[in-house]
Structure 1
Amino acid sequence: MTTKAYDEGNPFAKILRGELPAHKIYEDEETFAFMDIMPRGDGHCLAIPKRPARNIFDVDPDSLAALMRTVQKLARAVVKALGADGVTVQQFNEPAGGQIVFHLHVHILPRFEGVALRPHTGEMADQAVLAEQARKIRAALEVDGA
Structure 2
Amino acid sequence: MSDCIFCKIAEGEIPSNKVYEDDEVVAFKDLHPQAPVHFLIIPKKHITSLDHAQPEDEPLLGKMLGLTRRLAREQGCENGFRVVINTGRDGGQEVPHLHIHVLGGPRPWKRNEF
Q: If the TM-score is normalised by the length of the shorter chain, which range does it land in?
A: 0.7 to 0.9
Query: Which has more strand, going by share of residues?
Result: 2
1:3-35 deviation digits (Å, cap 9, x = unpaired)? xxxx44121111012221100110122211000
How far apart, CA to CA, are the structure 1 residues paired with 2:7 and 2:71?
20
CA contact (8 A) 1:40 1:119 kept: no
* Paired residue type of 1:67: M
* Paired residue type of 1:116: W
CA RMSD, aligned part only? 2.0
Q: How many angstroms does 1:72 deviate by?
A: 2.4
Query: Number of residues paired by the alignment?
Result: 110
**Structure 1 unmatched ranges of 5 or more:** 1-6, 121-146
How far apart, CA to CA, are the structure 2 residues paired with 1:22 and 1:118?
25
* Paired residue type of 1:15: I
**1:88–1:27 distance in 2 versus 1, CA, 3 Å:** same
Q: Which residue of 1 aligns with 2:87?
A: 93
1:61-108 deviation digits (Å, cap 9, x = unpaired)? 12211211222221222235xxx4321111100010000011100011
Higher alpha-carbon Rg: 1
- Shift >6 Å, 4+ stretches: none
CA contact (8 A) 1:35 1:46 kept: yes
Q: Which residue of 1 aligns with 2:99?
A: 105
CA contact (8 A) 2:36 2:106 kept: no
| Equivalent of residue 76 in structure 1, options 63, 73, 76 | 73
**Structure 2 unmatched ranges of 5 or more:** none
TM-score normalised over the length of structure 1: 0.67
Q: How does 1:25-36 map to 2 (within 5 A)?
A: 25-36=19-30
State the percentage of identical aligned residues.
Answer: 34
Q: Which residue of 1 aligns with 2:33?
A: 39
Q: Secondary structure at the match of 1:46?
A: strand
- 1:116 aligned to 2:109? yes
1:31-80 deviation digits (Å, cap 9, x = unpaired)? 11000001101121110111110111222112211211222221222235
- 1:67 aligned to 2:64? yes
Q: How many angstroms does 1:118 deviate by?
A: 8.0
**1:119–1:37 distance in 2 versus 1, CA, 3 Å:** farther
CA contact (8 A) 1:41 1:118 kept: no
Q: How many angstroms does 1:116 deviate by?
A: 2.5
